[in-house]
A and B are shown apart, each in its own frame.
Chain A
């Protein structure tokens, strides 16, 4: 039993590390690689949970995370970035240093909050939940601190990774939910893809700044 906890902790911790890696990358290609690494780690974590909790249905979730978010989406986004000719730097709102400090603070907050509140829950589920919340908050932070549409998409999907980790950490949560999460990611990607192309079509850029000039009320 203890070994099962250790491994799932290790994997959840590794995901948190990749969340930080997402925050400090300078190039979009590197951001996409870090995201792929996070998704593959998620797939491992879910697969481990499936094996150790004896819940074979979770293997489906792991497979979806591996194939879709670990391979298909990063490859597709790499291609998009190349075709649009924006494989340069990540446009940031604040510097890497501040982003990392805020990220650390959020991680601390997540740990303090969950460990304090969920004292009655099994220790394993509790710590996994704390790590998952930290990953969600870091994804949130990334969406706020990055100006580019592609990096915002990645920030959002990183949030989704955290959610799936939280859902698998909650023992016995019905499959309905995991399938729906995976399903939603699919739709999400579809919608995002449409927007990325449309934004390109209309503005010749995928910088969100360009959108801010279009504030509807000042027409």
Chain B
């Protein structure tokens, strides 16, 4: 039981962290509340399924092929639909919602509502402290942690990472310093969609695919970014594990927990907001007028 909770909490938390950090990047750099973020996570999962089933690739190869495809689709969507209306906050909002619905419906049309799956990369299981844990779960956890580390290094050590961080901090000043804010925004979108695609690749052997699978992670991701503070990478990271473990605890310990997991996670978010309106690690944005 305890081991189940820990493993599930860690995996959920890591996947949520990948999604939430991607969301935070776009939120911070381009000021877009990207509701369609988890739709790209779903798209990546479906691309992997397509590569595996129709092109006959091995699951691993399918994952590596799906990543650039998803990023390309994400960038195309951003250029075509979101960038022209970026100045209008409300329009961006429903633009991304409509985009998410369009992606969902496109997959619903091509694959139907049935549940699909991709086989695990490595089969078998091991015993940790008397609990059966599949290798696939451990692999997912390891990959997620590695990618999180890579993102951290990318943001902290590379010049593009520096550009992204500075634009997120103050868009105007970054622009004045001669930074190409538009290109930085493109980078941020690409990295963000890439992270969503990796999250999709990590979960694809563990879950069943259906065209509505983006809704639940979306809600959890939004709870995490608000809990951790919008635009804060550390906040997203910590928030993701808080929510991930809460979800696992509620599912395993409370009767009817599967119904209440969203409620409990979101209630925690609201409680935190009551005490700290800017979230746990919130950067108090300068008044933007």
The judgment on whether A and B are partners is: no
Chain B contact residues, CB within 8 Å of chain A: none
